[in-house]
């Protein structure tokens, strides 16, 4: 679903990401784990086309992100680390607005919105203004908005920040279900080992812009123990 071919990013003379060269399969929950400043957000921003790599190529599905950005971006949903929501809209209005931006036909959007409000336990808040939402409720609404178009790839920067344990469980379960049942791919970043371990099929550990280890949790443990 995602293929990095020797991807790097420099900011001036500073190299934030060195040489990413790996692929993420369809249906996988793939985590980018690393400390602050490791290069996670930079990588996610490159995957979503918000910034361009200084070197290398990124493919989303069959599409080269640099050559076919519209086709590549149509396959994905993105949840940034600090999402922006229109505070003066209700949850329902916001989801209708996003559906309109993506030109989802009304007949298709209405049942989809109802299902997502239910899935993210927001039904009773549907007509409440976003400005009255807690941080966790906003976060759940952001997830609902990102999933409206049924993206093949969901890119999420620090997905669990601001969620309470129940919200976390909900989001983890939704990731697993969507990946298992609909073949959606999730590419997420986190600096929390527990989250990576809990939700990810495979993890890349990034340090100072370099992938220093990659694999599922048991194989990473084994490699760490063997060193």
Site residues for ligand ATP per CB under 6 A: 11, 14, 16, 34, 36-42, 191
What's the min distance (Å) between Cβ of 28 and ligand ATP?
20
What's the min distance (Å) between Cβ of 17 and ligand ATP?
7
Bridge partners for 205 per DSSP: 33, 213
Bridge partners for 23 per DSSP: 3
| Cα 112 to Cα 109: distance, rounded to the nearest angstrom | 5
| Cα 155 to Cα 198: distance, rounded to the nearest angstrom | 17
Helices (H), 12-150: 40-47, 69-74, 91-101, 106-119, 135-147
Q: How far is CA 206 from the centre of its chain?
A: 17
Task: CB nearer to ligand ATP: give 41 or 185.
Answer: 41
Task: CB nearer to ligand ATP: give 16 or 211.
Answer: 16
What's the min distance (Å) between Cβ of 221 and ligand ATP?
22
Task: CB nearer to ligand ATP: give 41 or 139.
Answer: 41
Bridge partners for 11 per DSSP: 14
What's the min distance (Å) between Cβ of 99 and ligand ATP?
30
Distances from the Cα of 80 to the Cαs of 56, 106, 127, in angstroms?
23, 27, 24
Task: CB nearer to ligand ATP: give 4 or 133.
Answer: 4
What's the min distance (Å) between Cβ of 52 and ligand ATP?
12
| Cα 154 to Cα 177: distance, rounded to the nearest angstrom | 13
Largest CA distance in the chain: 57
What's the min distance (Å) between Cβ of 154 and ligand ATP?
18
Residue whose tokens read 């900011």: 11
Task: CB nearer to ligand ATP: give 7 or 38.
Answer: 38
Task: CB nearer to ligand ATP: give 110 or 161.
Answer: 161
């Amino acid at each position: 679903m995602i293929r990095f071919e020797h991807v790097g990013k420099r900011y001036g003379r500073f190299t934030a990401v060195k040489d990413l060269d790996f692929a993420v399969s369809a249906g996988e929950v793939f985590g980018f784990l690393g400390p602050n400043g490791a290069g996670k957000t930079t990588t996610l921003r490159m995957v979503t086309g918000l910034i361009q790599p200084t070197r290398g190529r990124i493919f989303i599905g069959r599409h080269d992100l640099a050559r076919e950005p519209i086709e590549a971006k149509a396959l994905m949903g993105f949840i940034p680390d600090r999402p922006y929501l229109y505070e003066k809209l209700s949850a329902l209005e916001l989801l209708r607005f996003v559906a309109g931006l993506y030109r989802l036909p009304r007949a298709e959007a209405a049942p989809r919105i109802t299902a997502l409000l239910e899935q993210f336990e927001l039904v009773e808040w549907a007509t409440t203004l976003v400005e009255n939402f807690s941080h966790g409720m906003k976060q759940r609404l952001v997830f609902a908005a990102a999933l409206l178009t049924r993206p093949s790839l969901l890119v999420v920067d620090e997905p669990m920040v601001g969620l309470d344990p129940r919200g976390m469980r909900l989001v983890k379960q939704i990731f697993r279900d969507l990946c298992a049942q609909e073949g959606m791919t999730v590419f997420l970043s986190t600096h929390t080992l527990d989250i990576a371990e809990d939700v990810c099929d495979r993890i890349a550990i990034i340090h100072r812009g370099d992938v220093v280890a990659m694999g599922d949790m048991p194989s990473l443990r084994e490699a760490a123990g063997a060193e």
